[in-house]
A and B are shown apart, each in its own frame.
Chain A
Amino acid sequence: MKKVLLLLLVFISTLEILKAQVPDQKYNFKFDSLLTVNALKQIEDKSGFQIYYKTNWLEGKYTTADLQNASIEQVLSVVLTPLELFSFIDASGIYITSDKKIVSKFPLIEEAIKADEQGVPPAGLMFKNDYVIKSDSLYRGRVITVGKQANFKENTKSLISGKVTDIYNNPIKDAIIYTKDMNSSTTSDDSGNFLLSVSSGKVSLRVQRMGYIPVNASVVVYSDGQLDFVMSDDIITLNEVSVLGGMRRNVSDPMMGVNKMNIEDVKNVPVILGEKDIINVATTYPGIQKSGEAAAGFNVRGGKSDQNLILYDGNTVYNINHFFGFFSAFNSDLLQSLDIYTSSIPAEFGGRLSSIFDINTKTPSMKDFNFELGVSPITAKLKTEIPIIENKAGLMLGFRATYSNWILKRLQNVQFNQNRVSFSDFSAVYAHQLDKDNSVKLSLYNSNDYFNIATDTLLNFSDFRYQNNLASVKWNHTFDEYNESEFRVGYTGYNYQLQNAESDVNAFEQTYGLQELNTKFTFSHYYKSNGNFKFGLESKLYNINPGTKTALNDSSEVSAVNIQSDKGIESALFASSTYSPVKSLKLDLGLRFSNFMMLGARNVPIYLDDALYNSDNIIDSISYGPNEIVKDYWELDYRLSLSYLLNKKNSFKASFNKTTQYIHSLSNSASLSPTDIWVLSNTYIKPQISNQFAIGFYKNLDDNKYETSIDLYYKFMQNLIDFKTGSNFILNENVEQVVLQGPGRSYGAEFSIKKSGDLNGWFNYTYSRAFIKLDGDFVEETINQGQYFRTNYDQPHAVNLVANYKLTQRVSLSMNGSYKTGRPITYPTGEYTYRGKKVIHYGNRNAFRIPDYFRIDFGINLEEGHKLTKNLHSSWSLSIYNLLGRDNIYSVYFDYQNNELQGYELSVFNRPIPTLTFNLRFL
């Protein structure tokens, strides 16, 4: 390893001199099944170059070739390429490398220089219509053209369409493609596709994306045509690469409150218990808050935790947690990106009030087999990518499981070694490029959680399990350069079962189940001038079993309970367009027209007019037949965003978004709880509606190295869901009797700085407030005298800092700091005796707060680099969660101790928790 480094240093210092000394001689060679070692000897002899290599690379390798009048590069290429070896030539000799290619300059730059020297390419040559430009190009010396030469007209505009991928053929989204004169630019979409309008003729293009080496290309554009780019992140460059953080996208894009997480970018953020967790990283973004370490849900811009739509390859995930929220249920090794929309929500998404979390898996490699193995104190995980048909089809499998049962069995304490807890998740992705215009992606996902704990330790049951099952097929079709479509069909299942076997005669099992069948069609049209128009249709069929209770065994006398099932269809038509009427103004306009129908069979109770919804006031009931419409709702959502570019570095943005939610989670705990149930809007439970206004100022500094922004927002909400105190909605046939609905409002400001470079990361401060008003017609339906009061997730001040520092190529340091105002809680305001028992009276809801939250995490990542044993890479990461060991209060409760009411503070991780994780990668 040291030798290699030394070698590189030598290269760097002598490069420019050496460059000029490579002779331009031609050679003739004929190898007939000759040992490659011997072939290289012959080359050494003829050329006079000394060749350096490791003999074990060439053991048992033979070369057959017949070369006439070839340059030394061509000769080496023919000999080494089949062996997947690379060469680097300078006056001191020829260096052969195995898995890394040594490049002195970007080949494309040289290409561009060559093209400049040669001027317009020789006429009459027929070029293939589509070329691939690679940063480690194998097409040296070729001239890149787009379109047909015959169609060339001067002073016209041509449209380049194409796709940006990485070397494993994964699409790279949000890559910026622009002409060097900055006259036109665009970004690649989720599938890596882009469309760029340029002046016909000779064009200098540049492609950039954080984490990848920029690609420069001199291109001759004859007419409309296709041009794909492959970007490399795995190359040793001898010249310094200055990444011009030209991500002006954040300034120019009219969308607000958008956070695009590249999973690779966040892999160094410190982790808890060894799990790289995208949801935890997301909670360091402005406006996204988690109320405590174990809290299962998170709140976005003053929204309740069930108002976030989590999509995994387009399928809704209803429970994103493993182990009650300590881990998220996603194995980040398989993930490509997470896009979070908190303010401007594209019209193609809907169904939740606060945010969309769009998680996409990687496209499996269709070229090279690879696997990754990770071991942490709690889990072991495995990921592998298997090419099925080269460049056509690939499969990716991922599996993660805990082995904590193994730990538990070894615990000496009798009480705990009988407890069982396990979770696992499995994911499979199959991608097939059918032809140039059609591709299919199949995605399967399953997660399982199981606990068996002493009854009453945690909840009133001893045995609890839940599962997520997702399946989807997506078909992408490209009509031509301007038009493409996507069609997907998916299934989501979420179920839980709990058992109580404390007493044989009262032993029971209780279940909940939700099934969602969904389909979505999107058609996208790209304008010749930059911009696009999208429209489509989405539909979801829900089938919910709100609860059953059955006897667990023969001796049990528990009576069966079956709550009538919820069935409903949520459909939406959507259309959106991005365009700029004038150069400095960009608009993103969307409409989403949605409909929800609750379907039979169903019995709906009718309550006395102007009376409280309770069992005594039921006067009748209406029975609806199967698939008969019980109740329907229509809503038109507006999604309007604009950006006004003050100059290249500054912009002003504004947006107005309306969202509607027809499915609600019923939870009467502060955070999500495992027994929460999702129910559909019905005759009595109205859809939740939110209107959000936002304005923002975006500014990039220091050559786009810093991205800063300030967002202000105000939200009006209707029909937010809450509960009567102490109510029970599990196995409750008429939940409307315990549900309260009322208006809400939230507002806030978000200030954010992001920095790129060796020291990179982000800092943000969020001010956010969230209020709700529950003022029913009856005292029973009124909370806090019917006045607006703060919700239990109202945490005004939040500060996050995430910093990564790349110390060397192999060692990086990271830290994460987070501060939040404590969440509101309800305090006792009096006590009384009733039936001989002391009872606490709690006053106004959420009048007090728990102490503020503050935590710092620290992490070190150590890459072992490429080992001599071919292709195996290992890395270690050490993270320390809660470095300062601060006692952050999670919740507060009250209890009598010797007849005196005592307050108790409960904290979860009140000391530093170090975790060591080992990862092994085979590429």
Chain B
Amino acid sequence: MKIKLLSLLILVGVSFSCINEFELTGLTYDKLLVVDGILTDELKQHHVRLTYTSPINSDDENSSPPVSGAQVSILDSDGNIYSYIETSNGNYVSEIAFRAMPGKSYTLQISTIDGNEYISTETELISSPSIGSIYPELTFKLLTDLNRTAPGVQFYIDSKPENEEQIYFRYEWSETFKVITPFKSQFDYNPQTGDYFLRENKIDVCYQTNYSDEIILGNTNSNANNQLTEVPVNFVALGPNRNTSDYLRNRYSIEVTQYAISADDYNYYQRIKKLDEDTGTLFDQQLGSVRGNIKSLSDEEELVLGNFEVAGVSRKRAFFDPEDYGENFEVPDFRYFCGIDEIMTVSNDSLSYYMDQGFYRIISVVSIPINDEEIRLSSRGCSDCTWYADSEKPEFWIDEAE
């Protein structure tokens, strides 16, 4: 989305536009309260996080200064109050596990240590229909960081609302896929002793998990049958120079979480999304602050950021194998180049020289007569996935039916 202008000018045969980075200086800082809260119909202890805005690119590790010592509670339309307690700085958790009920309305109440009171608008919980199907399609998509289209697999969902209240939806996804290194390390190495021994743990098969960081929205208003059809959730780009290129090399799983939200919450997310995405064009949006549904009772003029979302939740997980993406799908290469000449054969007495740096793993040991051994090493990337993924099989993981 960001480099739109360049293409525009190439249209007239002139490529004169240019985008330069510049240093952000002279920035001012507005310290404002940010409420990040969500209440769902899942039975659990719900969270609310209170912070202040942090200065742009502040070096502080804990970038959002927490708001501690506040009193947080939720009031439902029947008059029940659910109190929250602060578990760590700025993180508030409901004292008891509870679920929000469809048809009931909920209000977040906050009073800070300096005596300011805040309240959210009353929001009714709308239950979320189950997600119909998740399906992939091999397609092309314009990638804004490349400013060109790239091939990839787009995962869509279809969903069918069960009642007419279910109109606005927000989606999150998490993907988990199997990583199998080209070489299997059979031996482990003890740097203290310089010995190698048969490996007990597996480091050639892992499971990597990533989470969505985009706002994905859908609504049934624009569909003639009031359904959600082909809502694009995650796009996995293929091809060189993409760090996602080998995600689909082995079995892949995606879980989509569907939140049924109110019109106001939908509107709030849309504004955030617009300001985030529709910039860098000839027709830039007017930038400004986006207000959520929290307001201050003490000072009407005070700007409070963030939102308190009340949502019904449904989830669906699906598994895919490379053959599910159609006959045009070519199984991508492993993320590192691991040809046979990447294997290095060393002798026993030089083993510690290579192994002590931690960049190599022992694949195999070949005994040759005359009482010596050849040790085959491979780079860490080609034989060990534990440094970027988890070797433990997740609980939800189902291997292919054999």
Interface residues in chain A, defined as those with a beta carbon under 8 Å from any beta carbon in chain B: 273, 294-295, 323-326, 377-378, 404, 407-408, 411, 413, 415-416, 419, 421, 451, 453-459, 503, 505-506, 508, 549, 551, 557-561, 615, 668-671, 673-674, 723, 725-728, 779-780, 782-783, 785, 792, 825-837, 839-843, 845, 847-848, 887, 890-895, 900-911, 913
Contact = CB atoms under 8 A, between A and B. Distances in A.
A323 to B, nearest CB: 7
Given A457-B4, A506-B229, A832-B306, A723 B286 contact: yes
A829 B31 CA distance: 9
22 contacts: A408-B13, A457-B4, A458-B282, A557-B224, A669-B285, A725-B287, A726-B270, A726-B275, A726-B285, A779-B295, A829-B28, A833-B36, A836-B211, A841-B289, A887-B18, A893-B279, A895-B279, A901-B24, A901-B56, A902-B24, A905-B19, A907-B18
Contacts of B285: 668-669, 726
A419 B148 CA distance: 12
B400 to A, nearest CB: 30
A726 B13 contact: no
B56 A728 contact: no
Nearest to A378: B12
Given A415-B149, A455-B142, A726-B274, A294 B14 contact: no
Contacts of A421: 11-12
Given A456-B1, A831-B63, A909-B16, A843 B284 contact: no
Contact of B275 (A456, A459, A829, A840): A840
Interface string B267-311: 000111011100111111111111100010000110101110000
A903 B287 contact: no
B7 A726 contact: no
Question: Chain B: interface residue count, which band?
Answer: 35 or more
Candidate in A323, A324, A831 with the most chain B CB atoms within 10 angstroms: A831
Given A671-B283, A904-B2, A904-B19, A404 B12 contact: yes
A322 to B, nearest CB: 11
Interface stretch (B104-112, B213-221, B247-255): B213-221
Contact of A558 (B38, B149, B224): B224
Contact of A830 (B30, B279, B281): B30
Given A378-B12, A905-B19, A905-B20, A419 B36 contact: no
B34 interface: yes
A792 B32 CA distance: 25
B142 A456 contact: yes
A324 B282 contact: yes
B97 to A, nearest CB: 21
B340 interface: no
A847 B13 CA distance: 36
Contact of A505 (B21, B22, B230, B270): B230
Interface string B18-59: 111111101111111010101000000000000111111100
Contacts of A411: 10, 13
B227 interface: yes
Given A404-B12, A829-B56, A779 B283 contact: no
B8 interface: yes
Contact of A453 (B7, B34, B172, B227): B7
A823 to B, nearest CB: 11
A900 B221 CA distance: 37
B306 to A, nearest CB: 5
Candidate in A273, A674, A908 with the most chain B CB atoms within 10 angstroms: A908
B27 A829 contact: yes
A831 B28 CA distance: 12
B344 interface: no
Contacts of A557: 223-225, 227, 229
Given A456-B142, A841-B53, 7 more contacts: A377-B13, A454-B142, A779-B301, A834-B306, A841-B289, A845-B286, A893-B279
Contacts of B223: 557-559
Report the 3 A-B pairs with minimum CB-CB distance, sorted nearest first.
A726-B271, A725-B288, A830-B53
Contacts of A559: 221-226
B398 interface: no
B5 interface: yes
Contacts of A825: 287
B27 A828 contact: yes
A413 to B, nearest CB: 8
B28 A506 contact: no
Given A456-B142, A458-B7, A670-B284, A551 B279 contact: no
Nearest to A295: B282
Contacts of B221: 559
A841 B30 contact: yes
B386 interface: no
Contact of B214 (A408, A456, A505, A837): A837
Contacts of B274: 726, 728
Contacts, number: 264
Contacts of B281: 458-459
A890 B20 CA distance: 11
A832 B65 CA distance: 9
Contacts of A458: 4, 7-8, 281-282
Nearest to A785: B301
A841 B32 contact: yes
A455 B1 CA distance: 10
B17 A910 contact: yes
B22 A832 contact: no
B7 A828 contact: no
Given A725-B289, A837-B215, A673 B56 contact: no
Contacts of A728: 270, 274
Contacts of A780: 291
A324 B12 CA distance: 12
A900 B13 contact: no
Candidate in B2, B7, B29, B52 with the most chain A CB atoms within 10 angstroms: B7
A457 B10 CA distance: 12
A549 B275 CA distance: 24
A828 B56 contact: yes
Given A558-B224, A829-B28, A910 B56 contact: no
Contacts of B22: 892, 903-905
B96 interface: no
A323 B12 contact: yes
Contacts of A887: 18, 20
A466 to B, nearest CB: 14
A668 B286 contact: yes
B209 interface: no
Contacts of A847: 28
B119 to A, nearest CB: 13
Interface string B48-78: 0001111111000001100000000000000
A893 B21 contact: no
A377 B13 CA distance: 9
B286 A669 contact: yes
A455 B282 CA distance: 16
A560 B305 contact: no
B224 A560 contact: yes
B263 interface: yes
A453 B4 CA distance: 11
Contacts of B214: 837
A836 B38 CA distance: 12
A733 to B, nearest CB: 11
B229 A834 contact: no
Contact of B290 (A454, A456, A725): A725
B229 A505 contact: yes
Contacts of A416: 7, 10-11
Contacts of B283: 459, 669-671, 673-674
B239 to A, nearest CB: 14
A843 B24 contact: no
Contacts of A273: 12, 14
A18 to B, nearest CB: 56
A480 to B, nearest CB: 54
A505 B228 CA distance: 10
Contacts of B211: 836
